[in-house]
Amino acid sequence: MDQPHSPLSSTAIPDEQFASDNYAGICPEAMSAMEAANRGSAPSYGEDPWTAKAAGLFRELFETDCEIFFAFNGTAANSLALSALCQSYHGVICAASSHVETDECGAPEFFSNGSKLLTIASENGKILPEAVRELALRRTDIHFPKPKVVTLSQSTETGCVYSADELSALSATIRELGMHLHMDGARFSNACASLRCSPAEITWKAGVDVLCFGGTKNGMAVGEAIVFFKKELAVDFEYRCKQAGQLASKMRFLAAPWIGMFESGAWLRNAAHANACAQHLLSRLRGAKGVETLFPVQANTVFLKAAPSTLQALRDRGWHFYTFIGGGARFMFSWNSSIARVDQLADDILDVTR
Nearest distance from residue 99's CB to ligand PLP, in Å? Answer: 3
Q: Please name the amino acid found at residue 275.
A: N
* Contacts with ligand PLP, residue ranges (CB under 6 A): 73-75, 99, 153, 157, 184, 186, 216-217
When CB distances to ligand PLP are compared, the closest residue is 74
Smaller CB separation from ligand PLP, 95 or 174? 95
Axis crossing angle, helix 28-37 with helix 252-264, rounded to the nearest 10:
130
Specify whether the CB–CB gap between 168 and 206 falls below 8 A. Answer: yes
- Separation of alpha carbons 207 and 1, rounded Å: 63
The side-by-side arrangement of strands in the sheet containing 146-153 is 67-71, 224-228, 210-214, 180-185, 146-153, 90-95, 116-120
Smaller CB separation from ligand PLP, 108 or 207? 108
Nearest distance from residue 98's CB to ligand PLP, in Å? Answer: 7
Smaller CB separation from ligand PLP, 82 or 352? 82
| Residue of 319, 338, 339 lying closest to 329 (CA atoms) | 319
Nearest distance from residue 74's CB to ligand PLP, in Å? Answer: 2
Smaller CB separation from ligand PLP, 84 or 285? 84
Nearest distance from residue 70's CB to ligand PLP, in Å? Answer: 13
Nearest distance from residue 62's CB to ligand PLP, in Å? Answer: 20
- Separation of alpha carbons 284 and 288, rounded Å: 8
Burial of 176 (0-12, 13-18, 19+ CB in 10 A): exposed
Residues 6+ apart with CB under 8 A from 3: 9, 11, 12
Smaller CB separation from ligand PLP, 325 or 352? 325
Smaller CB separation from ligand PLP, 95 or 266? 95
Nearest distance from residue 340's CB to ligand PLP, in Å? Answer: 26
| Residue of 145, 155, 156 lying closest to 97 (CA atoms) | 156
